[in-house]
Chain A
Amino acid sequence: MSERDPVSEGAREQILRAVRSATLGRREHPGPYVPAPTPPAPATGALPGAWEAFRSAATAAGAHVLGPVSRAEAARAARERVAQLGSGRCVAEPAAVEMLGAGPWQVAAGAPREFADVSLAIARGAFGVCENGAILLTADLAPHRSLWVLCEHLWLLIEATDLVADMHEAVARISARGLSTPHSVWVAGPSKTADIEQALVEGAHGPRSLWVVGVV
């Protein structure tokens, strides 16, 4: 436990006291908390139609979706993408290199700021979410968080059967596998903004394009 500073400590007691006195005796929801209903067993990925549902949601979010393809095909497609982008630097998270094998990509290493010049980043996601087309990037498979936001273009790999139906299933899997530490990020589509007259523009601060590749 970290030590607390005395000013904040006084405030802490005062705030908690005020909160407790505010909620005292106004119990419309007495008794122990009943959590949200337990989601169905996570077997979505194996269901027929799951990949199509995911593909359609990810496409709607602005991603280019490829697959399901074999590892060899995924590696070939990744090389093509690198060639397409020209001479820029290409960096892959270790777990993605494990999946694709060696190629025209460096294995990610170094301080967060060192990825500022990356043209293409490749990472492996933990799973996809069918209802919104998001991919969860976790610290075990994708530890270099700045890499996949600083890069010009992003290429994400998942096992095509690693899909959950919705966010309820998604957080159940995060809880079960302890995936929230120190980061877990859902990425749905390329970085975007509509802050100028509601005109949708891709490539706000992060990647200008996102490719999602399902591997079998």
Chain B
Amino acid sequence: MSLPLDREARRVLPDEAAVHRHDRSVWTLRQARDRAAAAVPDFEALRDQAAAIKAHTLDHLGRYLEEFERHAAERGARVHWARDADAHNRIVHGLLAERGVRRVVKSKSMLTEECGLNRHLEARGIEVTDTDLGERIVQLYAEPPSHIVVPAIHRTRSEIGRLFEREMGAPSGESDPARLVEIARGNLRPRFLEAEAGITGVNFAIAETGSLTIVTNEGNADLGTSLPPLHIACMGIDKVLPTLEDLAVLLRLLARSATGQPLSVYTTLLTGPREGAEQHVVLVDNGRSRLLADSRHASVLACIRCGACMNTCPVYRRAGGHAYGFTPPGPLGAVLAPALAPTRATETLPFASSLCGSCSAVCPVRIDLHSQLLAWRGERTAIRGVGRLGVRSAAWVLSHPLALEAAGRLARGLWPLWSLRLPGNPLSAWLASRDLPERPRESFRRGWRRDRGRHR
């Protein structure tokens, strides 16, 4: 059975060179993560602590959300609640429209990506500038991010050079990353200065103080929240933490797991609006409370969006983020998508996995991602029609020894046909990058019966 992700992967990374380049870039991040983890003696204990903090918080989420709301309001923030993406978009647009805002700078937020905020605002005449460099690149390409930490990781420097030539007046043929960054800096600076509002995501919201924590390397969230008179912070209800002490644990893990830095360049704690400015926080459910009720899958809400599961995943590395057809991609997306956006296509995502467990092995909050992938396979009826018939037939054959013997003989008899690279060959996906091995002379069972005494 060929999965949608299989087919998309061939479109996204069309040749072996592209696959290799993507694999290498992503793997660099995984290696950096390993070095950073090894440099902290209590890293594994920190992961335990983080998992416990998140489990506790999710179990008492109602209490902490109310506590956060109360303290944020006491500090002068306005807190809004949105049940779904549409409500979120309407709240944000309402805030902007009431103040006559036409130009907005936005720092990275996977939530606004999930809600389709940009489209909603642009359709209503508001210009949104994504300011994270990677996000700006994918925005100009009118495509979704292919990675949550490095959104344009699928693009080469020459592609970005051509894009900047078209969009920012870069000199023709420019492909030096430092000069391209300089061009983007010059292009985006006036937008920061002219923006009438800044929208940001939220990495962590602190219940005991009502603070928002926003992490960037570029400083774009700091410009976006310190210049315009209006700051709108958009966050899923899963982003709250009880205390600043808990924040310390999560911050020690986040950047190390994401890029291998001990801390990102800017870790910004905002408690209430700055003088003369407004701060609004939009708390968004959009399927999270439903997921919270699902005891098998609720723990994925502990995710801190570091991207480590993507960087290590053999499927993501070779397929590219866009192949998933869902943001976020990777193992995280494959367990989130069937819960938050159940469709025929997203329900096949848990099948596009080797179940190697590498994602679970690096997750800073110890989400059992590979077990959840397996669990989704049993819970969703993505194997339909021929696929399901195939699985049932296989089950029957495997439980009847004579049938298995006969099937084996048949398969060996038809061997020359299996190696034909023709449409309709069920092995064609496998044969795309491999050759069929030589035909076995006899069945494994027969060889085993004959030889097993000899190798003891």
Contacts and interface: CB of A to CB of B under 8 A. Distances in A.
Interface of A: 1-2, 4-5, 7-9, 11-12, 14-16, 18-23, 26-29, 33, 35-36, 57, 60-61, 112-113, 116, 129, 131-134, 145-146, 149-150, 166-168, 170-172, 174-175, 180-199, 201, 203-207
Q: 9 nearest interchain CB pairs?
A: A206-B219, A22-B293, A132-B262, A18-B289, A195-B134, A204-B218, A199-B177, A132-B263, A146-B226
Given A15-B283, A185-B222, A201-B178, 11 more contacts: A7-B91, A23-B292, A61-B263, A166-B248, A174-B269, A184-B271, A187-B266, A192-B217, A196-B180, A204-B220, A206-B266
B218 A22 contact: no
B443 to A, nearest CB: 48
Which residue, of A172, A194, A206, has the highest number of chain B Cβ atoms within 10 A? Answer: A194
A61 B83 contact: no
Interface string B181-220: 1100100110011000000000000000101000001111
A53 to B, nearest CB: 12
Interface of B: 25, 28-29, 40, 49, 52-53, 55-56, 58-62, 65-66, 73-76, 78-83, 87, 91, 131-134, 137, 150-153, 155-157, 160, 177-178, 180-182, 185, 188-189, 192-193, 209, 211, 217-220, 222-223, 225-227, 237, 242-249, 251-252, 259, 261-275, 283, 285, 289-290, 292-293, 295, 298
Contacts of A166: 248, 252
Nearest to B63: A20
Nearest to A190: B265
Most buried by A among B58, B267, B272: B267
**Which one of A131, A175, A182, A184 has the greatest number of beta carbons of chain B within 10 Å?**
A182
Contacts of A15: 65, 81, 83, 237, 283, 285, 289
B255 to A, nearest CB: 8
Contact of A61 (B160, B237, B265): B265
Contacts of A113: 193, 227
Contacts of A35: 242-243, 245-246
Given A19-B61, A182-B274, A189 B265 contact: yes
Given A182-B270, A198-B25, A198-B153, A191 B193 contact: no
Given A16-B66, A23-B62, A205-B223, A193 B133 contact: yes
A191 B244 contact: no
A184 to B, nearest CB: 4
B209 A194 contact: no
A145 B62 CA distance: 33
B262 A57 contact: yes
A7 to B, nearest CB: 8
Contacts of B293: 18, 21-22
Given A167-B251, A192-B265, A175 B80 contact: no
26 contacts: A2-B73, A11-B82, A11-B83, A16-B66, A18-B285, A18-B290, A60-B262, A113-B193, A134-B263, A134-B267, A149-B226, A181-B271, A182-B271, A185-B269, A186-B263, A193-B134, A193-B181, A193-B218, A194-B259, A196-B160, A197-B156, A199-B178, A201-B178, A205-B131, A205-B218, A205-B223
B275 to A, nearest CB: 8
Nearest to A200: B177
Contact of A191 (B75, B82, B265, B295): B265
Contacts of B289: 15, 18-19, 22
Nearest to B279: A182
Residue from A19, A28, A134 with most neighbouring chain B CB atoms (10 Å): A19
Contacts of B285: 11, 15, 18
Contacts of B156: 197
